[in-house]
Amino acid sequence: MGRLTGKVAIITGASGLLGLAGVRAILDEGARVVAMGRSAKVEEQAKEFVAAGADVTPFRGDVSSEQDMAEVVDLAKRTYGRLDTLWNNAGLTDSGWMEHDGDVTTTSLEHLLHTFEVNAASVFLGAKYAIPVMAETGGGSIINTSSMQTAGGDMVMVSYGASKAAVEYLTLSVAASFGHLGIRSNAIAPGVIPPPGAEHVPIEAWPEWSRPQSLIRSSQSLDIAGEARDVAAAVVYLASDEARFLTGQVIRIDGGVTGHLPTLSERRKFIAS
């Protein structure tokens, strides 16, 4: 408790599974939070946090909009007078979108460009507007959500994987360019993190989660299911002064899926089924 006391954080995608866990964890460590999301859910969740005594300011906006990203950073500065952490967490992950993300011959250019706008351009915009504000108070921590998908080639999800690879390069670029201002830039690369209870749902009832989870679990070094709190713990660490000498890194939170030699045989069977 108290590892982030006095700090101010912006979290995008704050009402989703990982974002909400991050909001809770960062608040528990004493920070104040500007929670950004597209729907009214982010405002409803903020009210619950405030009622419990936390300091949360909601902001409804689109991370692919330059105006909205500029406004959320300005909101943090006007409300709290500083910005210490930006977690660029928002991204496209819903099953309806993933159904159209195949290989380079089956994925439309429109789909690719939209994916880059939400997953990668948002990271660019967040850093663009956060860095000058962070520099005013001696620096800060920018945390970007990448994916285990960048660890190797895949036969589907070409736009998702490419956009997350762009996120990792942007992470490195910011680390190299602004370290002299005291700004750290790192990425986290989660594996498949199922919603609570998903492991108990039959594959037929929830195939978009249960089928991938079964494949990923069989590839993990650790025989446990990842949870949102595992990702949130890494975010808290990167936001804290404990990570003061850590920048330009990608932390993989995937149970060891990307830590050993892969095989395509099971993946081919999975895609064909």
DSSP letter, residue 193: -
SS3 content of the chain, % helix, strand, coil (to 5): 50, 15, 35
Residue 30's φ and ψ, nearest 5 degrees, are 100, 5
Is residue 41 within 8 Å of 17, Cβ to Cβ? no
By the 8 A CB rule, do 118 and 92 touch? yes
Q: Which of 80, 129, 160, 237 is the catalytic position?
A: 160
Work out the number of other CB atoms within 10 angstroms of the CB of residue 45.
20
CA distance 15 to 139: 27
Tell me phi and psi for residue 6, to 5 degrees.
90, -10
Our answer to whether residue 160 is catalytic in this structure is yes
Cα–Cα nearest to 155, from 102, 208, 95, 107: 102
Q: Which residues are catalytic?
A: 160
